[in-house]
Amino acid sequence: MRQIHVIHENPAWLPPLAEAFAQRGLPWAELFLHTGTFDLAAPPPEGVFYNRMSASSHSRDHRYSAELTAAVLAWLTRWGRTVVNGPAALDLEISKVRQYAALEAAGLRTPRTVLVAGREEIVAAARAHFPGQPVILKPNRGGKGLGVRLFHTIEGLADHVAGEEYVTPVDGLQLLQDYVRAPRPVITRAEFTGRRFTYAVEVDTSEGFELCPADACAIGEAACPVGEVPGRPEHKFTVIDGIDPGLRARLEQFLERAQVDVAGIEFITGADGQPLVYDVNTNTNYNAEAESRAGIAGTDRSGMGALAAHLGRLLHGEARLAA
């Protein structure tokens, strides 16, 4: 039987999508990729495969799930199966460096970033490239804001790197990045389904600037203001009317070029009023409370609703995956 196969390694993320499938009467099954055996000479099951493997899978004791997913996606594509967020999407999901290269190739600005390999290289790199200014330390492969920390001084960074709390990233690569001071303490996360804009959510960053809709991502030494914050939104997550049409078009063009079908793309507006894109989430989550306040929960305009409807159209042959 043809059905939708959801590739993942985190059952906690499934219930909202399962509900959206049930509302639309769509047959589906989960393909939990942590261990498994696959006969590469045999054809895969029929249907549509939706990949939502996460860069943070290793944090749930699924160290090789991303690598296993890459192998399974190669098998699926070799047999001509319809794969939503295929190999190219996974490649970007597990590497911010590759994300930034693809974004910049598409004409989108990213924060100034320095790649560092080796714990002993970090402090010297910060002194050389970010003298006398705040700097963000983040892993090249993270997810959920894991390991993202803001340091206001080199001394604070040095203490952290030399201390017991420092964790070597799973791929061994760290990024040092400009701390962008936005006019308001918010970032914007634009959601895309089928490489087309679904909606955008404004995220309050006054309690930490690396946030995802499903989980608030903690920041280490980050200076999170106490008390009233000028321009602070009423809610942590708020669905907004839209984003700049020109930016929206460039982001859609980026997704076409990068062959990413479903994504949440985060950007921040700098002091010069220009957007800087800093994260592409190809296993995007959605904030149910914000959708409810916006009156779109459970509809095809909601995140999971739009996703389920898109997968359903592909399953029934009413749409074709973009090349």
Phi/psi at 27 (5° precision): -75, 135
Is the Cβ–Cβ distance between 239 and 302 less than 8 Å? no
- Which helix (H) or strand (E) element contains residue 22? helix 14-23
The architecture CATH gives domain 181-302: 2-Layer Sandwich (3.30)
Q: Which two tokens stand for residue 225?
A: 């203001």
What's the pLDDT at 273? 86
User: Residue 84's pLDDT is what?
Assistant: 98
HSE-CB of 75 using CA atoms within 13 angstroms = 16
CATH class belonging to 3-92+311-315:
alpha beta
Structural domain boundaries in the chain: 3-92+311-315, 113-178, 181-302
CB-based contacts of 139, cutoff 8 Å, min separation 6: 146, 147, 148, 169, 170, 171, 173, 174, 175
CA distance readout (Å), 144 to 13, 24, 43, 222? 13, 29, 35, 16
Q: Tens-digit pLDDT profile for the chain (323 aa)?
A: 799 999 999 999 899 999 999 999 999 999 999 999 999 999 999 999 999 999 989 888 999 999 999 999 999 999 999 999 999 999 999 999 999 999 999 999 999 999 999 999 999 999 999 999 999 999 999 876 678 899 999 999 999 999 999 999 999 999 999 998 888 888 999 999 999 999 999 998 776 644 444 333 333 333 333 334 555 667 889 999 899 999 999 999 999 999 999 999 999 988 888 999 999 999 888 999 999 999 999 999 999 999 999 999 999 987 677 66
Confirm if 204 and 174 have CB atoms less than 8 A apart: no
Q: How far lies 154's CA from each of 121, 134, 264, in Å?
A: 13, 8, 32
**CATH class as words, domain 113-178:** alpha beta
> Is the distance from CB of 168 to CB of 137 less than 8 angstroms?
no
- For 15, the token pair is 């219930």
**CA 122 to chain CA centroid, nearest Å:** 25
pLDDT the model gives residue 47: 97
Note the pTM of the prediction, 2 decimals: 0.90
3-class state of residue 220 by DSSP: coil
Q: Which of 312, 135, 280, 297 is nearest to 221 (CA)?
A: 135
Instruction: Tell me what pLDDT residue 318 has.
Output: 75
* The token pair that represents 169 in the structure block: 């990233």
pLDDT at residue 241 in the model: 83
